[in-house]
Amino acid sequence: MFVNAENIHHIVIASTEHPVDFEQFKKFIQKSPFVRRVAFIGKAIFDLPEFPEMVKFCALNNIYLIFGEVGETSTENLRALVEYKNVILINIYEDKHNVQLLNQYKQEFNSDLPDINIIVTVKHSPQDEISPTSYAFYNLADDITDIACLKLLNEPMLNYNGELLGCWQNPDKKHPINAFNLGMEKAFSSASIKKMLNMLKTGKICKSCPCTRCPVFASLVWTNQKIDVYKRVFNDD
Ligand code: SF4
């Protein structure tokens, strides 16, 4: 199976513990001309010393950005979220001052972007923790039109250091393929991605694949389903 990386325009970068290395990130973007949108998950990306520079670099390369979690951060970083007009959406914790500031910048730069979604923190009681939804795990493959495996090709996830996780459910800690070093094309022609796609398509276990250890795959097996990710994402008959 040949995965054409030219078809993959959106990626997600997990930045829950560390920000990306800016120099590595720049090289990756230059090696991956088909990437058009990067979504950062996690607050640590705001610890990147060159954050405003990174947003500007993406704007100059026609790349839109999404930030899944804006926490405490500097006014320079908040300003960069508006100034280059390439940040389309942010989720931000309830902080009236920061939201006010962002709206001021939007006026100053005459921009409708970014869309600001306020994260309301809800405290869960211990009772909530054992609600029936805790068992949703068993139904992970109920709707395979909206399953995490599809993200492998329509919005693959990389770790902050460039390691190719594929999808956000990947349970493995070590990932041999580094997309920052290789660029999208080489990373996606790697054997490990092909093995994941093949395992989902055939249902045959491949021990080296993270899917082997993933509850979504277990759920697919229990519900007697297989999924041709390539066909579903690219509608390729
Ligand atoms: S089965 Fe594989 S591709 Fe699907 S969610 Fe799990 S790790 Fe990801």
Closest listed residue to residue 179, CA positions, set 195, 169, 190: 190
Query: Distance from the CA of 173 to the center of ligand 1, in angstroms?
Result: 14
Spans of all domains in the chain: 5-127+145-190
pTM score, whole prediction: 0.91
At 4 the pLDDT is: 84
Residue 147 Cα distances to 63, 119, 144, 188, 208, angstroms: 26, 24, 5, 20, 21
pLDDT at residue 113 greater than cutoff 60? yes
Q: Is the CB of 229 under 6 A from ligand 1?
A: no
Residues 86 and 103: their CA atoms lie apart, in Å, by: 16
Residue nearest to atom 3 of ligand 1 (CA): 149
Least confident of 2-6, 159-163, 179-183: 2-6
Residue nearest to atom 4 of ligand 1 (CA): 149
**Gyration radius from the chain CA atoms:** 19
Query: Distance from the CA of 57 to the center of ligand 1, in angstroms?
Result: 32
Query: Distance from the CA of 208 to the center of ligand 1, in angstroms?
Result: 13
pLDDT in tens, 45-78: 999 999 999 999 999 999 999 999 998 899 999 9
Query: Distance from the CA of 169 to the center of ligand 1, in angstroms?
Result: 6
**Collapsed DSSP state (helix, strand, coil) of residue 158:** strand
Residues 46 and 55: their CA atoms lie apart, in Å, by: 11
